[in-house]
Amino acid sequence: MIYELRIYDVNPGKMQVILNRFRDHVIDLFSKHDMKITLFWEDLDESSNRLYYVVEHASLEERNLNYERFRNDPAWIEVRRVSELDGPLVKKQESIFMKDVPFFANK
């Protein structure tokens, strides 16, 4: 199992829009494409406009295939189009890939 920490720098004034998009659409679409969000946070310092979440993947290859299917899903394309009518929600996205260490049982 690998874990992907995704960090979004959200454009000013767009945090609630992106949170709604995840709540109403993206989490279900990820699930449809075999991607499981296990943890989700908004930065405590609201002025930073940062969003963080962890996605579990069976392997890096599976991750890449799943994201490719997600990005090409007509439902996602429409959700993104509608939610970004007033401009992009994210100005920068970063992914950090992690794996378990043998001496600690992550839950």
pLDDT tens for 2-19 read: 999 999 999 999 999 999
- Residue 43's pLDDT is 95
Ordered strands of the 2-10 beta sheet: 36-42, 50-57, 2-10, 90-99
pLDDT digit string (tens) for 21-64? 999 999 999 999 999 999 999 999 988 999 999 999 999 999 99
- Residue 48's pLDDT is 92
Q: Give me the CATH code for the 2-89 domain, please.
A: 3.30.70.100
CA distance 40 to 37: 7
User: In the chain, which residue ranges form alpha helices assigned H by DSSP?
Assistant: 15-21, 27-32, 60-71, 74-83
- Residue 11's pLDDT is 97
- Residue 46's pLDDT is 85
CA distance 49 to 57: 26
Give the predicted TM-score (pTM) of the model.
0.91
The pLDDT of 76-104, averaged and rounded, is: 96
- Residue 106's pLDDT is 77
